[in-house]
Structure 1
Amino acid sequence: MVEMKLVKCVVIVVFSWFMVDWSYAAFTPVDNYLIACGSAQNVSLQGRVFISDSKQSSFVLKSQENTVIASSNSSVPSPIFQSVRIFHAPASYKFEIHQKGRHWIRLYFYPISDSGHNLRSASVTVVTDDYVLLNNFTFKKYKGSFLFKEYSVNVTSNTLGLTFIPSNNSVAFVNGVEVVSVPDDLIPNQAASLSHMGPSSGLSVLAFETVYRVNMGGPLLTPQNDTLGRTWENDKKYLHVNSSAQAVTVNPSMIKYPVAVTPEIAPNWVYATAEHMENADVANTNFNITWVFPVDPNFVYFVRVHFCDIVSKVLNTLVFNVYLNSDSALPSFELSSITGNLAVPYYKDFISNSSTDSNTLSVSVGPDPVAEVTDAMLNGLEIMKISNGVKSLDGFSSAEKLFPKASLKKGKLGIVIGVIVGTSFVIVLIALCYCCSVVCRSKATHQSHPWLPLSLYGNSQTITKGSMTSEKSGTASYVSLTSSNLGRIFMFQEIMDATNKFDENSLLGVGGFGRVYKGMLEDGTYVAVKRGNTRSEQGIAEFRTEIEMLSKLRHRHLVSLIGYCDERSEMILVYEYMANGPLRSHLYGTTLPSLSWKQRLEICIGAAKGLHYLHTGAAQSIIHRDVKTTNILLDENFVAKVADFGLSKAGPAIDQTHVSTAVKGSFGYLDPEYFRRQQLTEKSDVYSFGVVLMEILCTRPALNPVLPREQVNIAEWAMSWQKKGMLDQIMDHNLVGKVNSASLKKFGETAEKCLEEYGVDRPTMGDVLWNLEYALQLEVTSLALSEPEDNSTNHIPGIPSTPLEPFDNSVSMVDGVNSGTDEDAEDSATSTVFSQLVNPHGR
């Protein structure tokens, strides 16, 4: 059905090109450089002509040493890739700019195989006069066969320099370059900031990189169909649930552009197609259509959503909600009341970041509960990365650092100005230091935390240095553990010393809450320091939750919180250091050695013990709500510990079955029942853990949009193989032939039960733990039997010489602290059936 609609769409597109072709000639760029690099002749591509860079006119190639290669391979993916220019040293294209302002910079890369160089291993860096566009890119770490990049840069001088720098003793290369002027108002100066982690104004001077440009419900649109030469892809591979949306299409001639929106904002084919709810009569008004996009969590994003009501028959009936991640972007949004008519384009801009520690950005639309019509829709979407503080769109190195010659033009005049400004700065700095010292002395007697409610500290209404007992004079303070037991309070200077002033070389990772650094305390203890972003409201909530949760929890399989720092409006958490980092890094994406099947089972068991403790170890259970492989950390002995409790939630009371709460977590791991009903239970963690089990077995991400549709979601894909009894066909190739079949079968059955659609059909974490222990014993026994026969069982690791006590799902707690040692209680909790597995023919 979907395919038929797309075919219909394409037919209408072809027909409409003849009907509305005039609309695509509305904008004529003043600067329009289309360069075929290394080519001896001009190249035609999608209705445009790229000229050879050897025919220099108003642009100049400055290169000391370069090579021109014309490909003899006719199978290149596009005519622009038939030639390449290779640089052995830094080289620049210089373009004359006739109209200052916004320009597209588009780059084409394809590693021609018969170039005489191993271009797949080439490491390429590209910078403009001010911005880093690409930093150490190599096809060796890239899954695609070619690379197309589009940037939007505000050019303020009469020339634009584009420099290609070989990195790591390699060469640089490029196949095609575009520098094209665009309307200045295409990127506004302001946008609504939802995450409070990025700029809401001043956007007009920043650089952008197009990450996604999507035509909902419609076909691929090429530069021939767009007045600004843009490409719009279809949305299907980004849908979280394929069956949640239905495409709708109208004749593009029906689109009525208002004065405020032109085809330069988006072509009429974007507004003439849309995705809306597959079942508009769905009873659950919490139902959403959601698109999920992997993004770099180190950057903030400009998000533009496009709407045009081509679904409604009459005005003022379609009311729906729009969300970015879990933030409400457009509540009770009624389009026709804004546009005054149907089929009138409208768009809205936002600033957002990736969802909490998931490296994705999600966009959702869903019906408003009070609406007459239960429906929601979206026509188009653009997601653009915003340059960071060092003017980079790839990493944290500035253009001056990567290519110092780029800043030489500021030369002698800059030196003179610098001396004058520097002298003035020193005078001002001395005055400021004096003022700061006075202010600091006045604040030293009464510290306040405007962003953190003081109820966190117990019953006290204020907190001062006088109320703390210092265990290390002048360096660190401790809240009295008899009243609050919140752990050690670190001074900010102590954190600075431990991390060498947050040295980037000590960076362990980046999450939604902030950056994590390796640190060393004065006593030589290694710690992990998570520095939050104080501008994030969600970060504040995570900070509070993490301290409150972990101050009450102590377990061998939970990462321990050592203390925190809230000085100078910082949000810093200090944890025990986990030497082997996140589990995910040992599965894929790095060169670390592969884990054995026994190691993987032991890690699964450790994580299951941590989650089982959360669910049963207190009077009221705790639901983690963000179980995934990046939140399972490994210590130096590969002991697994569950981490990151910023999204954790107290479980339902005894007389309740669930907790009603907004959906939070990471796409790919989210319990579908929780996603649909917004009803959270312990079984939501069980589902997420089932995804983790499959990720451990298959060593691939939970969501991978670049794969074929049926393989995008690991839960759906792996379950289809599990139900065929062929899980061994998709397992990590490093495990093939090294796994006991009975152990794998038990593991697969356990994961399948975890991934049941309805929570009531899923096992408890205690049951999951029991089954994983069983799978481990099957594996250990098979390993032992492969060794020389021995009448004694004492040589078999993990098999006790005496029968074990029956498994007990309960753990006694008194005031949030174990009456015994939790890990001892759970580690010994294994059924007596395991003692009979020494002889696999027994019973």
Structure 2
Amino acid sequence: MANSINKKNHMKFTLLSLISLLYPLVTNSYNPDYNLAINCGYSTNTTSLDNRIWVGDNDIENSNLLSFTEPTTTNQSFITKPISLSNTQIPFTTARVSISNFTYSFPINNITNSPVFIRLHFYPTSYQNFELSNAIFSVEVNNNLTLLKNFNPLHWAKDSTIIKEYCIQVKPHEKLTITFIPNPNSINQSNLYYAFINGIEVVSMPPFLYYSDLSDLNYQIRSVDTDTTDYKIQNDKALEMVYRVNVGDNQVPPSNDTGMFRNWDNDYPLYLEKQYPQSVSSDFGEHLNYLKNNVPNYTAPEAVYLTARTYGLNVKEDYNVTWNFEVDSTFTYMVRLHFCEFEEIIKDQGYRVFQIFIDDILAEQYADVFSWSHGRLVPVNKDYAVTMYTPKGSSQIEKVNLTIKLQRMPIHSKLAPKYRDVILNGIEIFKISDNNNNLAGVNPKYLSPKEPSSPSPQSKSKNSTIVIFIAVGVSCLLLAFVATGIIVFVRRRKRFESHFEMEETSWKTIKREGSSTLPSHLCRYFTIAEIKAATNNFDDIFIIGVGGFGNVYKGYTDGVTPVAIKRLKPGSQQGVNEFMNEIELLSQLRHIHLVSLIGYCNEGAEMILVYDFMQRGTLREYLYGSDNERLTWKQRLEILLGAARGLHYLHTGAKHSIIHRDVKSTNILLDEKWVAKVSDFGLSKAGPTGMAMTHVSTVVKGSIGYLDPEYYLRQRLTLKSDVYSFGVVLLEVLCARPPLVRSSEKKKASLVIWFQRCYKEGLIVEELVDPFIRDSITSESLKCYCQMVLSCLHDDGNQRMSMSDVVGALEFALQLVTTEEDSKFGWTKEKEKSEQRLLPHFTSEDGSDVFTSSSDDYGSQTSKVSTISTSTEGQPMLSAKVFSEIGYPKAR
């Protein structure tokens, strides 16, 4: 375990600081063809503390290296110094400031065809005649690539330095220009917005350090969203380095990089969630082995590969080694993880195997560094691409959390390693430019100097004067809060009304005291007093379920009628929109296979929905994960048929078609008579209207494992998206296992992919079937059922069955079971013919099976025919966005 691996390093780590100063790092493994550092606002060349030469942009002798252009009439730039020069390091002693555009150009003959680093250095502080709060500007490269937009350095740091690093490919015969563009100033000139810059670096890099070598078939970037390895970063993309971290040790400064002046931050305390005792391993006694040529020797400094973070000594409980990184949503990121096995005890593959999660997606189920590198002291890295979305599916850019988690192999795993431990040496995270050639994100939320703030990635500790000022400010704020609280108590002012930001106009459709626009006979309004009386003031003993919305309680309205009460929890990923959506939809829908909404409560901070109580709970509880009695095959088909009829009603029976958007086994509830009812309509959406409309364009929402891949990839929601999700439920019922199992071997982690592969390769599908029902399903019934499942799970939505056809296929499957039961008492040819007359089954011209559905719930006698394709070619190989939390999955 970790104890045996780290014990020999215990004494080493106590001397780590001293050793790191004395150890000869591998520097200048790469010599840049082009290396220019500009000290903006300076007239001569200067030398920094690390002996690097910075050229002045105001020195005419440097005109062959760069040129500076700006308006020649008015509003020319200023060369200025910080008013309070607390930072004396180059290039932060001077700045170029302007309220007009200004541009730095670099001659074409000096730039090679290789990509280059561009680093912009900012020192956000007060400059003469310029307020820092008015420093709002954009930065563009070659007038077509946006690096920064509405950038306000004050929001990132104050009196601390900011370095923004980018990777770009300069096109042949094109010179490099960097333009700084202040935000437009108001007409009355009350706010003079300006741009400023302290230093610029342009440094060439190896062609394929971060860009994909299309000729190298061994290099792969794994897309964790789609579980494919064909993602490429080509030259038309620009990158922003958002994080570069040396895991398990101190910072590696630019002067100790491999020749490209990259800075490697230390991972704790800024990024590592929790540091466990003796979790740092190191070995400065040996040099790396680059002979195997897994990665070039300039990829990262030796100090990165010879230090690592592992599980820690004497750790008994399981936990995730977790790093958290704040990033901009709506962008795709390349995550590079650096590994090197230097522990002498790790002698072969299989000694240390663990799991890697990126943004809670299982990126590597069996991470074995030794098997990747084929030896000790051999560096290796793995690249992954992940797209970040906002929790509520908004298209607006927001700050979100990208996590990297390492997890030990489960103790009962089939692939039990010799040592249950993890290892990671370094992390790099790059933002990839979007289709609009944009890398600009949003400013962090501004914290005034009077508020305590946690360290930002680019900021350092404030000086003692600022700390004292903050302490005084916080004390004053606390006193003000206490005084305000007393006033509020005395005057009995209204309580804080919501934990969420709600616009009053959002509630015009939901009003109290008889003014509700909802029909009173369909939806009752409950006071919070009635809800508390029904749940004994939300006593935990009444909790019957927990979901993304919040807790679900069993209660009794009017002291008699049992109901299910769903209460929004503070910080829920769902909120006002889902709450309103469910009320508006369910109050107008009534069907035997839909859960009925009885009423709601919207009072103060409370948002509560009240439903019919479903005595037997969810379908999933009778498939796996509980002690409930297992369902027979016939019971399962009857439940599925009921749920399918409910979805069919949503698609065709309501005034307007409705797409449920969150079909899964936990949203199919069972009453005391085992009647299935579809529930949870918070994410539901009106379907396409009109003959010309085939889909609804919307952000992706739903539950991972059940998402339609066509919807996931193209954001096009259709009625067939529900069909795909229901197809996953069909498989879940047949196999009695979750759609995604992160502890399974990779080929079995996704139930859908496993089933499709087995069927396509002619493997024994019966092995997937729940053993409890395996003997009760005939081969004919299983074939019929599997063909229906394959049609539902087709990657092309146009090729899937409709819900009407699913209803017909399930009716046929159920009739087969009934017929098979009858056959125990004697099978007659007449009955067989009668059965064939009841529901025809024939073959189309292309050889695929065709079923004819019977009449639907509403008495419609129209006959519909659906082709069920048995081909699985082109099925999506989406990875499982599984949940890496120990013990229970994260609610979505």
TM-score by length of 2: 0.47
Q: State the structure with more CA Rg.
A: 2
Q: Which has the higher helix share?
A: 1
Structure of greater relative contact order (alpha carbons < 8 Å, 6+ residues apart): 2
TM-score (norm 1): 0.50
